[in-house]
Amino acid sequence: MKTIVTTILSAFVLLLASSCKKNQDNIVQPASSDSFNVVVNNGYGSGKYKVGDTVHIFSVASGTNQTFGVWSGSDINLLNVSNEWHAWFKMPAKDISFTGRLQNVQPFNLQYEQIMGKNRLKPVYYYFPAGHKGIVYLLHGTNGSAADLVAGYEWQQLIKDLASDKFAIIVTEAEESTTGVDANGDGKLRWSQLPADTINNIEYANIRILTDTFYNRGYTDASKLKYSIGMSDGGFFSAGLSYIFNFKSSVQYCAQGGDNLVQVTTIPTQFCMAANDDNPSVGAAGNATALSNFQALTNRGICSKYFINPRSPIYPERFARSGTMSTTQSTAAFTELKSKGFIDSKNYFIGYSDSFTSAYTSNPSGFPVFNGLTTAQKQAVLAEINLSVADHHMYSDLNRATVKFLNTQCL
């Protein structure tokens, strides 16, 4: 009897083992590698990444009469956005690819003219396309000017997107920038937001008079909706300007806005902040205040949006993006920065650009590639570093979000 039982148990164990083995054979085994490939066509960011990594992809630079169109690919749903030149996603457990597509836009030119304001001639750049849907006022930051704004590569990308979407554009400058006089003695050339009226405040008076000039010339009319977009101090002024003149909406880059104005304004407002803003007037505290102000507006039933641009890696060709240098020069500058320990193994710049400029200033010959660049090329390198770090700088990474906000606000 014992022998029979033992035989039956042995057969059962063998059957069970065979059954388990069969089930295990049918199970799809996990991949042996935790890294997968990303291919970026017509752009940058290709490489091998670990599952869960945040991967940034970038389109090639657009030409003078081009803007970014859209990213395409079978996994487009992974991207945070599909219509911005810079997008990012969490790496899945498979190989994927994306293709960046540029689109042609109608050529246009900003016109330049000195136009009489309240007390003096003001430099004005403008563009009024036929059938324009509204007027957008673009506002520079502290110590800036109208000329600086229109010459800035990031601003130029936004201007192209606005113009291609049939917005008229007006660019002028703060009165202190025109006179070169720090009228209020704060050590900066800035827009003046107070007093809050269109007669005694020189800034609001100038905007009113310049706009009336274009009305009188027949370039536009008072029925056109108006919008404002400002960077830094221009962002603060954008909030006041839109409130005073009851604009359709306001966009503020690297500017949190004033607490008092947030309590009374009814103007739809978008905040576009920089994750590692190091400006003493904004910084981490300003980013937090912008988020709080966004929430305060939303709680009052006022349309508001809040974005914060993250730190991103530097690809070797990035310094050539503005067209001031060749991709060969850009790659050489990238290699030099990396060899000197300013760019980490994942191609993120370490710290802020100040650390590099200090090292270069103390030993120019130690950076032969950078030292051999022109002043404009050096400025382009520093600008792209600041953008990659997500420091206090106008950026074009949210152009489509901004244009959408002008068109539809929170709809």
Cα distance between residue 76 and residue 81, in whole Å:
9
Report which residue type is found at 138.
L
Both structure tokens of 375: 């002043």
Q: What confidence tier does 5 reach under pLDDT thresholds 50, 70, 90?
A: very low
As a whole number, mean pLDDT of residues 127-136 equals 98
Q: In the predicted model, is pLDDT for residue 37 greater than 70? A: yes
Q: Could you tell me how far CA 194 lies from the centroid of its own chain?
A: 29
How far apart, in Å, are the Cα atoms of 137 and each of 3, 70, 122, 204, 239?
A: 96, 26, 14, 12, 12
Look at residue 11 in the predicted model and tell me its pLDDT. 38
Report which residue type is found at 396.
S
φ, ψ dihedrals at 338, nearest 5°: -70, -40
Q: In the predicted model, is pLDDT for residue 359 greater than 70? A: yes
As a whole number, mean pLDDT of residues 51-71 equals 97
Q: In the predicted model, is pLDDT for residue 193 greater than 90? A: yes
CB environment 325-342: b (16+ within 10 A), e (fewer): beeebbbbbbebbbeeeb
Residues constituting the chain: 411
Query: Strands of 47-50's sheet, edge to edge?
Result: 47-50, 35-41, 96-104, 66-72
Q: At what angle do helices 153-164 and 399-408 cross, to 10 degrees?
A: 40
- Going through 180-325 in order, the beta strands assigned E by DSSP cover 225-231, 249-253, 269-274, 304-309
How far apart, in Å, are the Cα atoms of 188 and each of 147, 175, 176, 282, 379?
A: 17, 12, 9, 15, 21
Per the CB < 8 A criterion, the answer to whether 304 and 266 are in contact is no
As a whole number, mean pLDDT of residues 284-292 equals 98
φ, ψ dihedrals at 90, nearest 5°: -90, 130
Question: Do β-strands 35-41 and 96-104 pair in parallel, antiparallel, or remain unpaired?
Answer: parallel
Cα distance between residue 393 and residue 391, in whole Å:
6
Report the chain's mean pLDDT, rounded to a whole number: 93
Nearest to 231 by CA among 188, 289, 271: 271
As a whole number, mean pLDDT of residues 268-288 equals 98
Cα distance between residue 147 and residue 149, in whole Å:
5
Report which residue type is found at 217.
R
Cα distance between residue 203 and residue 196, in whole Å:
10
pTM of the model as a whole? 0.91
Q: In the predicted model, is pLDDT for residue 3 greater than 80? A: no
Nearest to 215 by CA among 171, 181, 178, 168: 168
Cα distance between residue 72 and residue 97, in whole Å:
9
Q: What confidence tier does 337 reach under pLDDT thresholds 50, 70, 90?
A: very high
